[in-house]
Amino acid sequence: MSRLELLHQYAEQEPDNPFNWYALATEYRKYSLVEALPYYEKVWQEFPDYAPNYYHLAHAYWELQEIEKARQVFEQGLQVLSTQKETKMLQELQNAYHNFLLENDLLE
């Protein structure tokens, strides 16, 4: 059984566990951003408190030049992480968001 098949099996067995969908997205990301995106989006929509997803989904949108979607995900992720007291993840997302704003000439 391939890693992707195994991750699909885990997601089907425990569909309420956001890590299973996130792991599936991350595995697909190794091969295809387009195939990974629906799984990152699923985590974002169905498990909005799952903090690790924000960094990767925002970067996926950014890479696909979906700048407004990337900005929305970054900003929502910053809100979620600040309420969760996830200091390290919050700092990483703040740095990534700042770089995103700089590279896209969005700093005001």
Q: What is the DSSP track for 27-93? A: HHHTT-HHHHHHHHHHHHHH-TT-THHHHHHHHHHHHTT-HHHHHHHHHHHHHHHHHHT-HHHHHHH
**Which tokens belong to 1?**
């059984």
Is it the case that residue 14 has pLDDT exceeding 90?
A: yes
pLDDT the model gives residue 86: 80
Token code pair at residue 76: 């929502």
- Grade residue 16 by pLDDT with cuts at 50, 70 and 90: very high
Model pLDDT for residues 22-77, shown as the tens digit of each residue: 999 999 999 999 999 999 999 999 999 999 999 999 999 999 999 999 999 999 99
- Residue 42 pLDDT: 98
Residue 107, pLDDT score: 79
Does CATH place domain 3-103 in 3.30.1330.10? no
